[in-house]
Copies of this chain bind each other. A is one copy, B any other.
């Protein structure tokens, strides 16, 4: 009973926007601790107000600086901003490449901005364990805009678009063809394109290249499917294009709400999270009981007599039994 009460207290403190409670809850979510589950369920029921914005792009695109400026711009519009910065980390060492970043510039110390860095883990795709729960926590705590920032490429971007209502893809001028090839699959997830480093001479070419690509896509499709993603040129150090970018983000939110697409996206996110949560449960069961209830299955797998496919069905039968208890 004590635990229940204390867990409820923590949830109430999070809802009241207390920074220390938020930080504690975020740590619990990140740890994946079973005890956090009921608190996270309560928090989930208090979500739904925040506009979740994913901002993504290849390393070197200047996206961290851009995020800081976007946050500051939202603050001038009196909106509270939560930022979840995903750091790439090696799947083997678990270490973070970037480490803790102190790079939020003018919004540092502003109680209307909450920043949390999370490391990615290789095993379960691009998004860190607890990332989506972290979005819930900041949403429930009253942050009206929650920004998820990734520095990854590939799978990360796919995952982020599935967690965000609005996705901004940042392109830097002058990156080579190699980078462009990597990005080919990423560009089409953009609701908004931001071109960074707008003071570079090549920036205008990047803008027109992007517009050309988008136009080509429309031409190939033979009609406009939904809306055409706007392209916004920015120069974060000079604070240029930031207001326009924030207006494009707001305009996209209004488009989602008025077109009914917001509810579709919300449902897609819920479903995606359900699958992801189920995968995490499977993974934990498999890894945490190697010497215990998984030992027989692992030994049989080791003989080569049962295929991974058969072993998978046994694992599911076992986990399903646990889950229905």
- A204 an interface residue at 8 Å Cβ cutoff? no
The residue on B at minimum CB distance from A122 is B158
The answer to whether B181 touches A281 (Cβ under 8 A) is: no
- Set of chain B residues within 8 Å of A301, measured between Cβ atoms: 267, 270-271, 274
- How many angstroms from the CA of A323 to the CA of B276 in the assembled complex? 19
30 contacts between A and B (CB under 8 A): A37-B309, A41-B307, A41-B309, A60-B177, A60-B178, A97-B185, A126-B155, A152-B154, A153-B153, A153-B182, A155-B155, A267-B298, A270-B302, A270-B311, A271-B286, A274-B286, A274-B301, A274-B312, A277-B311, A277-B312, A278-B282, A278-B312, A278-B316, A279-B282, A280-B312, A281-B316, A282-B316, A317-B323, A319-B320, A320-B323
Partner of A277, one of B176, B182, B279, B308: B308
- A305 an interface residue at 8 Å Cβ cutoff? yes
User: Which candidate, A84-92, A101-109, A239-247, is the interface stretch facing chain B?
Assistant: A84-92
For window 144-172 of chain A, which residues contact chain B by CB distance below 8 Å?
A: 152-156, 158
- Set of chain B residues within 8 Å of A322, measured between Cβ atoms: 316
Whether A305 touches B45, Cβ cut-off 8 Å, given contacts A88-B185, A320-B316, is yes
The answer to whether B40 touches A302 (Cβ under 8 A) is: no
- How many angstroms from the CA of A310 to the CA of B274 in the assembled complex? 8
The answer to whether B93 touches A188 (Cβ under 8 A) is: yes
- Set of chain B residues within 8 Å of A97, measured between Cβ atoms: 181, 184-185
Q: Which 4 A-B pairs have the closest CB atoms?
A: A320-B320, A277-B312, A273-B308, A317-B324
Other A-B pairs beyond A41-B307, A282-B282, 10, CB < 8 Å: A44-B304, A48-B304, A58-B182, A270-B301, A275-B286, A277-B308, A278-B316, A313-B323, A320-B321, A320-B323
